[in-house]
Amino acid sequence: MTDIAGKNILITGGASGLGRLAALEMARLGGRLVIWDVNADGLARVVEELTSLDGPPAHGYLCDVSDRQAVYATAARVTAEVGPIQILVNNAGVVSGKRFLDCSDEQIRRTIEVNAMALFWTAKAFLPDMIAARTGHLVTVASAAGVIGVAGLADYSASKWAAVGFDEAIRMELRRAAPGVRTTVVCPYFVDTGMFRGVRTRFSWLLPILREDRLAAKIVRAVRRNRRRLLTPWLVWTVAPLRVLPVGLFDAIAELLGVNRAMDHFVGRAAAPVEKPPADN
């Protein structure tokens, strides 16, 4: 069991939703939280909320994780001001929620940059210290859409497939480079955050819309237990073995479960404005 107490923990996209709840859960266990987000108001609120728990001081930094240079510069500040990060939770994500041909080029690019490319920049910034210490944990919040393509989520699915592949490749590299540095990939079905407002499920007893507070608790538990994968609900685990079936049959099962109609009534939420830190930072 990994002890959270006293660890420097960085959560991207931590000013709201799943990131905020995971931060609160880890703070209650004595973790020293560092929150990155593009929403200055939300960031300030969460840092105040974390500080009110009477644990270690929390820190908030404005950072657009799709901006490689901003990631590197902010990471250097964090290391200098807080110390090496020991648990990195790559949680920041965006979703366009549109059919492929309805997505603008800018929406597609933004999805890939935030959901996939940002993983490379944050890992390059913080993994070297973990490897040098021969201990640490890298958490990648992916999606069930990273193991099965979903209509209306072409850009999102592609970015989350990339996230799953990234986690697996890094895990293999770390087996030799630093076995004490662990990884966890998280692949949940739709979560009841504003990000996926309006999505529906055909069989809620098989594929329930997940509660974000319960998922946050599961993520923290997975980190503490050094679990390599967290797929939820259980039906997500069946996707891999189902791939031995002929493609037509596999697709028919997805249709039967309503996977490709889940986004038909998607509303989502307005994207938070991307705020930049002052130039002298």
156 an active-site residue? yes
Contact 212, 17 (CB under 8 A): yes
Region of 152 (left: φ > 0; alpha: ψ -120 to 50; beta: rest) is left
Question: Does a structural domain hold residue 270?
Answer: no
16-52 confidence digits (pLDDT tens): 999 999 999 999 999 999 999 999 999 999 999 999 9
For the domain that residue 213 is a member of, what is the CATH number? 3.40.50.720
pLDDT confidence tier of residue 271, bands split at 50, 70 and 90:
low
Q: Which residues share a beta bridge with 195?
A: none
* Model pLDDT, residue 267: 87
When divided into structural domains, the chain yields a total of: 1
Indicate the Cα dihedral angle 128, 129, 135, 138, nearest 10°: -60
**pTM of the full predicted structure?**
0.94
Q: Is residue 279 assigned to a domain?
A: no
Report pLDDT digits (tens) over 216-264.
999 999 999 999 999 999 999 999 999 999 999 999 999 999 999 998 8
Q: Is 280 among the domain residues?
A: no
Nearest alpha-carbon partner for 71 in 128, 19, 112, 12: 12
Mean pLDDT taken over the chain: 94
Give the CB-side neighbour count of residue 56, counting CA atoms within 13 A. 17
61, 72, 156, 189: the active-site residue: 156
Range of the domain at 22: 8-261
